[in-house]
Structure 1
Amino acid sequence: MRDLVLGVVLLWLIFKAIKHPWIGIMGWTWISIMNPHAYSYRLSELPVAAAMAGSAMIGILLTKDKINYFVSRESGVLMLFMLWMCITLPFSFFFDRSFELWTRVMKIDFMILVAMLVLYSKKHIMALAWTIVASIGFYGVKGGVFTFATGGSYRVWGPEGSYIEGNNEIALALIMVIPLIRFLQMQLPATAKWASRALSMAMLLCAASALGSQSRGALLAIAAMTLVLWWRGKRKLEMGLVFLVLGVMLIIFMPDSWTERMSTIKTYDQDASAGGRINAWWMAFNLASHNFFGGGFMVSSGSLFALYAPDPNAVHAAHSIYFMVLGEHGFVGLFLFLLLWYFVWRSAGRLYRCSSSAAEDKWLSDLGAMCQVSLVGYFVGGAFLSLSYYDLPYNIMILVVLACRLMDGKVKELPSPLELGADRARARNLT
């Protein structure tokens, strides 16, 4: 029954995408960051994501919907980063393994660029935000209930075979989606009390699920995001008390094993996992210093650690978005990566400072503020996690870029080609 329902939904999305490519982007986003077909017995082995992407591309050629051709500073830097990854690929130490991951990253980044072609309206932005929240929030609600049911005695893990399979990775994804849930809650009408309460419960369960993953990086990311929210809030005393009470309640609920693990943050120099990461960071730095193009994807190898790591026996993944890019694509790659997110941050700040007095434009400021909070979680939590190429932060980039174009008046609700044709026909009849 599960296979049948999921198959019908996927087929509907594929056929709708041919007529309206933006629906294909929603389907691709859902499949890419949630992996719903992994819960199917028969669909898990099929190229579902490729079919969704293909239908969206066919739709671009056949659709009568508007296609928005433009290059922003963010999309321009992303394309430069993609080009640089193509340049560094032939210099990879382990080409076969690098090529496999390079293919996956190129598909994700290409679809990010396609999304910015076919999405342009507020309706599209809100649909993408809901798709992201539903896709990641599903695991947050599920994991939060599991955490409360087990007293936090077991770790929360992500969907198998995905970027967020590990407990640390799913924790960061959940943390990043909490501000987006808050954004959607802020857009609800005052009469939608039950929907607002449901979203409040979803945020609480996502936070509990992130803590239940027992990720120390997640704890630091939550703390950083909470600090930003408190600093920007108007009623700092009330907000501070609410955050303090909720934080204490969640922490008290967690078992002693969680407290012991979190306490190792202060004694990181005595922790084997933290020591392994620092060793991997030095390895990435030394590798990039000796190889202009970096080492290519998948550089966590004993042979490379023997050459570049302070401790050649402590082979460990970088577990850092920054050092991961540095080791794989050199200092040029790291510069492009940092420049991309600097531009996204600045653009989100422009939205947050949106000075329009119109009430209908307040959502732009809300979106910018919450996207910045989400990015804080990514920048802080990502310092300890290998999620440099995961879709979610790039989807936030899409929200920011499209919202900025709407704010700047570069995108307007234009009539469809059929409507334009009818207008021309009427004009010819009048003449």
Structure 2
Amino acid sequence: MRDAMFLAAMVAIIPMGLGRPDICIALWAYVSLLDPNNFLYGFGATLPYAKFATGLTVVALLTSQEKKVFYCDRTTALVLIFLVIAALAQFTALSDASLGWDILDKLWKIVALNLLVVCFMRTRLRIHLLILTICLAVGFNGAGEALKYLLSGGGHKVEGMPSWGDNNAVALIVLMTMPMLAYVREVSEARSLRLGALAGIILFAICVVATASRGGLVGLLILALAGIAKTRHKVRYMAALLIAGLVLVRTVPDSWTQRMDTIQDADQDSSFMGRVVVWKLSTLIALDHPLLGGGLHAVQSQNVWDAYVPSFGKLSFIPTEEPDVRPHAAHSIYFEILGDTGFLGFLVFLGIIASCVRDSFRIKAAARNRPDLQWAARLASMLQLSLLTFLITGAALSAAYHDLVFLLFALFSTVRAVVVAAPSYEVRALAAAPLQVTGWRSRRLDPVSPPWRLHSSKILK
């Protein structure tokens, strides 16, 4: 039944998506993040929904009457350069294992989606559509795991998902989405949507607890502190956090508390020190191959692992145990990129992050004293929190090639493009334009649609 309902929903989208690249791009992002084959168990589990969304997007681009304008800013250019470096790294990889090629096949599709978002989602309505899509896709899995945890009385533990990764990766993805959900709650006029977003935030926090991820707990605390700094209702917010903390302490099992207590003894924790071992091996790979590294997920290949174990003593100034006989994942977005693509790819990846940070500040500066662009300034603040969560929580897990990361990069570019291209007359035009009641605050149609808007008025037709 579940398979038939989901398949019927996909078929129903076909007439809606013809000639509408924005809907198809959102569908592509939804399917990529949701991974429906993970929760469908009948005939639907074998259907290629990702290929369906990709094909429908291509058809929509061909049938659309919108003006196709290629847009490439600094961030997007760096993303494309990173893809080229990753491809060259894989073609010169130290291992012939299929895992690296699988990562490259996934990466170029993620970058293609990133490019389509930047080129075709450059209006406020379409950005909001993408934000909602991300929240719904991540929310299905995140809220579902949280409900299992509640119904089991704290006995359920999130082990991971095939397309997301282990429990640490699940915690990271949920944490990165929480600021976007907070943005939905803040800008929505519909009370039902605000309550739904609030419920989603609470369930997301419970999901992070259910993962028993120490990095997830650190990320959750960071978001809580950032919320105190940004909210206008500090007393109410801190009271809610206090109550949530007391409930958490009372309800979590002892095993969870004991695991979290090991954070303060990281230098004595075998799990953490095992990650340091992999970081050292990834660094050795990059030192030997500074331009292109060892290839995608090279450190997880047995032959590469065996080749660098004898050189492990070169970094003996960092005391750790000796490496295991079997390879492990990099367990860090930084060392993952460093070992996979060398110092060149690592610097480009840091350049992408720096470009996103710069874009966020440019968005805020351009939106200053512009009532029509306050939504962009607020969204930039929430995206900053998502990026900060990725940089801190991702320091101890491998998640550099996830779809949500590159969608986040695309959102920075897209919002900046909208803000920078906003005409000076937009304040007067918005004041005179009719209000469209759709649940989003201050949603007015601009009577003039410059080419960069890609016929935004057609979105509501």
TM-score normalized with structure 1 length = 0.90
Counterpart among 257, 279, 295 of residue 259 in structure 1: 257
Distance 1:354 1:222 in 2: 30
The Cα offsets for residues 250-270 of structure 1, whole Å up to 9 and x where unpaired, read as 233211110000111111222
Aligned to 2:405: 393
Q: Provide the secondary structure at the position in 2 that maps to 1:19.
A: coil
Aligned to 2:18: 18
Aligned to 1:202: 200
Aligned to 1:54: 55
Q: Does 1:413 align with 2:449?
A: yes
Distance 1:400 1:157 in 2: 31
State the 1:357 CA deviation.
Answer: 3.2
Q: Contact conserved, 1:225 with 1:376, CA < 8 A, in 2?
A: no
Distance 1:73 1:222 in 2: 31
Q: Contact conserved, 1:21 with 1:56, CA < 8 A, in 2?
A: yes
Aligned to 1:384: 396
Distance 1:270 1:354 in 2: 48
State the 1:247 CA deviation.
Answer: 2.8
The Cα offsets for residues 274-306 of structure 1, whole Å up to 9 and x where unpaired, read as 111000000000110011321111321343333
Closer, same or farther: CA 19–3 of 1 in aligned 2, 3 Å: same
Closer, same or farther: CA 223–418 of 1 in aligned 2, 3 Å: closer
Aligned to 1:29: 29
Q: Contact conserved, 2:117 with 2:414, CA < 8 A, in 1?
A: no
What amino acid maps onto 1:277 in structure 2?
Answer: R
Aligned to 2:316: none
Counterpart among 116, 121, 124 of residue 122 in structure 1: 124
Aligned to 1:64: 65
Mean alpha-carbon deviation: is it higher for 146-155 or for 204-213?
Answer: 146-155
Counterpart among 321, 324, 329 of residue 313 in structure 1: 324
RMSD: 2.3
Closer, same or farther: CA 66–244 of 1 in aligned 2, 3 Å: farther
Map 1:18-417 → 2, pairs under 5 A: 18-40=18-40, 41-97=42-98, 98-159=100-161, 161-162=162-163, 164-189=164-189, 192-234=190-232, 236=234, 238-292=236-290, 293-299=292-298, 300-309=300-309, 310=312, 311-313=322-324, 315-409=327-421, 413-414=449-450
Aligned to 1:429: none
Q: Contact conserved, 2:90 with 2:101, CA < 8 A, in 1?
A: yes
What amino acid maps onto 1:205 in structure 2?
Answer: L
State the 1:182 CA deviation.
Answer: 0.5
State the 1:48 CA deviation.
Answer: 1.9
Q: Provide the secondary structure at the position in 1 that maps to 2:264.
A: coil
Closer, same or farther: CA 352–212 of 1 in aligned 2, 3 Å: farther
Q: Contact conserved, 1:33 with 1:136, CA < 8 A, in 2?
A: yes
State the 1:316 CA deviation.
Answer: 2.1
Distance 2:90 2:192 in 1: 51
Q: Contact conserved, 1:183 with 1:367, CA < 8 A, in 2?
A: yes
Q: Contact conserved, 1:306 with 1:313, CA < 8 A, in 2?
A: no
Mean alpha-carbon deviation: is it higher for 111-120 or for 301-310?
Answer: 301-310
Closer, same or farther: CA 417–245 of 1 in aligned 2, 3 Å: closer
Q: Contact conserved, 1:66 with 1:118, CA < 8 A, in 2?
A: no
State the 1:213 CA deviation.
Answer: 0.5
Q: Does 1:7 align with 2:18?
A: no
The Cα offsets for residues 188-208 of structure 1, whole Å up to 9 and x where unpaired, read as 12xx33332221111011101
Aligned-residue identity in percent: 26
Q: Contact conserved, 2:36 with 2:49, CA < 8 A, in 1?
A: no
State the 1:158 CA deviation.
Answer: 4.0
* Structure 1: tracts of 5 or more residues without a match: 420-431
Distance 1:144 1:418 in 2: 40
Distance 1:282 1:205 in 2: 37
Distance 1:238 1:372 in 2: 23
Q: Contact conserved, 1:85 with 1:329, CA < 8 A, in 2?
A: yes
Distance 2:68 2:130 in 1: 17
Q: Contact conserved, 2:37 with 2:45, CA < 8 A, in 1?
A: yes
Q: Contact conserved, 1:78 with 1:340, CA < 8 A, in 2?
A: yes
Mean alpha-carbon deviation: is it higher for 199-208 or for 299-308?
Answer: 299-308
Q: Contact conserved, 1:351 with 1:364, CA < 8 A, in 2?
A: yes
Number of residues of Structure 1 aligned to a counterpart in Structure 2: 415
Q: Contact conserved, 1:288 with 1:330, CA < 8 A, in 2?
A: yes
State the 1:237 CA deviation.
Answer: 5.0
Distance 2:16 2:450 in 1: 21
Q: Contact conserved, 1:351 with 1:369, CA < 8 A, in 2?
A: no
Q: Contact conserved, 1:121 with 1:413, CA < 8 A, in 2?
A: no
What amino acid maps onto 2:77 in structure 1?
Answer: G
Distance 2:237 2:132 in 1: 26
Mean alpha-carbon deviation: is it higher for 124-133 or for 87-96?
Answer: 87-96
Q: Provide the secondary structure at the position in 1 that maps to 2:18.
A: helix
What amino acid maps onto 2:449 in structure 1?
Answer: E
Q: Contact conserved, 1:348 with 1:372, CA < 8 A, in 2?
A: yes
* Structure 2: tracts of 5 or more residues without a match: 313-321, 424-447, 457-461
The Cα offsets for residues 314-333 of structure 1, whole Å up to 9 and x where unpaired, read as 63211111110111110111
